[in-house]
Amino acid sequence: MRRLVLSGWLAALLASPHALAQGRPADVAGARDHPLVGRYEGARIARYQAKEFEEVRLIDKPLVAADGPRRNDRNSRTVEGRYWRITYEGPAGRSALELYRNHEQALAARGFERVFACGQQECGPGFAVIGAVEGVAGATGLPQVIEGQRYGLFRLPRDAGTVWVALYANERPAAGNRPLVPFAFVEIVEERPMQGERIQFVDASAMERAIGAIGKVALYGILFDFDRAEVKPESRPTLEEIAKYLRANPQVGLIVTGHTDSQGGFDYNVDLSRRRAAAVVAVLTRDFGIAPARLTPFGAGPAAPVAPNDTEDGRAKNRRVELVKR
C-alpha cells in the first residue's frame, strides 16, 4: 500500500528535494491536514472548513430508503467539539478503495477503533450516504460509481475528549468524464465541552481609560468564524462602543490591529489578521460613519501573544482585536 503523507512542517522537513521539486496540485487557500488523519500521497485538498465548536451528526448505521440523504436519530449519533470538513482529490490512477484502506490503516496505527463501516450498496440506497455526509441531495459532482463507495466511522478515546473521524471514499469523473479520479471526504470532531463565559464586553468608558493609561485596549467582543475574516453580527455591541469612543474623542486616530494564535502558517495568520482588521475598519466606516482617515488596519498575526499558545485558553486570549492610539 502507498503511505499517507505526513502533514505540516514535518512533511516539508522530511520530503526529499526531488519530491519537493515535483510538488503536488495546490490546496485551497488556508487548508491544512489534520495531524491525526494526514493525506494520501499526491492528493490535494479541494474543499476545507474548520470551526472551533460545532454540533455534528456522524453516521454509524446504514441508511434506509425512508431516510433519504439525511442524518437522523436512526442512522447517526450527535457529537460536539472542534470540527473539520476536508475533501481530498486524487491522485489520478488510484482507486477509492486504496485511499480508504490507507486512511483506515493509518487511523488504526494511531489507536483509532472502527465503530461502523460499509461498502457499496451496504451503506444504503444509491448515493444516499454521501448525500447525507455532505449535506446535499442530487448535487452536481456527486460520485458516479456505486461499486467504489466506502464509508467508515472511527474513534480515538483520550482524556482530553474522544476524537471522531468519518471517512467516505469514492471515485468521480474528471473533465470529459474520464478518467475516474478518487476522492476522500473526511469529517473530524475533537470532542470537548463548549468554552463558556468567553464574551468580554468593554464599553466606551473602559476603552478610554485603557487607551489613556497604556495607549491601547484589547477587545474580545469582535467575533469571527474560524479561519474567516467576516465580522459576525454578535460583534455589534462592541463596535457601537468603539464608535461611541471615537465620537467622544474626535482628535484620536486608531490602529485597528488583528491578532491570531499560532495555529497554522505564520504568513497565512498575518494575512488573516490583516483581513480581519480591515473588515472591522470597513464596518466602522460604513455602518457607523467613522471617517476612514481615523482608522488604520494592521495585521500582527501571532507575533504579539499575551498568553502561551500551547493551550486552548491561551490561544483564545491571543485571538483578539486591539485598538492602538496613533
Between CA 237 and CA 222 the distance in angstroms is: 9
With contact defined as beta carbons under 8 Å apart, do 48 and 27 qualify? Answer: yes
Structural domain boundaries enclosing 102: 4-191
pLDDT in tens, 288-300: 999 999 999 999 9
Cis bond before residue 91 (omega within 30° of 0): yes
Q: How many residues would you count in the chain?
A: 326
Does one domain contain both 42 and 184? yes
Report the relative pairing of strands 254-259 and 295-301 from DSSP bridges: parallel
**pLDDT (tens digit, 9 = 90+) per residue, 167-198?**
998 887 665 556 778 888 999 999 876 555 45
Confirm if 202 and 221 have CB atoms less than 8 A apart: yes
Signed CA dihedral, 197, 203, 209, 215: sign only? positive
Same domain for 281 and 243: yes
224 within 8 A of 320, measured Cβ to Cβ? no
Q: Which pLDDT band holds residue 113 (cuts at 50, 70, 90)?
A: very high
Q: Is residue 199 part of a domain?
A: no
Residue 6, pLDDT score = 34
Domains of the chain: total: 2
Choose the final residue of a domain: 191, 224, 259: 191
- Of the three residues 191, 217, 241, the one that is the final residue of a domain is 191
Confidence grade of residue 147 (pLDDT, cut at 50, 70, 90): low
Same domain, 171 and 216: no
Q: Which residue would you say has higher pLDDT here, 219 or 315?
A: 219
Question: Nearest-CA neighbor of 82 among 167, 193, 168?
Answer: 193
Q: Is the pLDDT of residue 15 over 50?
A: no
Q: Are residues 166 and 83 in the same domain?
A: yes
Question: What's the pLDDT score for residue 146?
Answer: 60
Do 227 and 187 fall within a single domain? Answer: no
| pLDDT confidence bin for 143, thresholds 50/70/90 | very low
> Is 71 a member of any domain?
yes
pLDDT digits (tens, 9 = 90+) for 27-73: 998 899 999 999 999 999 999 999 888 888 898 888 888 777 778 88
pLDDT confidence of residue 309? 84
CA 103 to CA 153: how far, in whole Å? Answer: 12
* φ, ψ dihedrals at 122, nearest 5°: -60, -25
The average confidence (pLDDT) of the chain is 82
For residues 174 and 81, membership in a common domain is answered with yes
Helix and strand tally (H, E) in the chain? 8, 12
Residue with cell string 476536508: 86
DSSP assignment letter at 40: E
24 vs 75 pLDDT, higher one: 75
Is the entire prediction scored with pTM above 0.85?
no
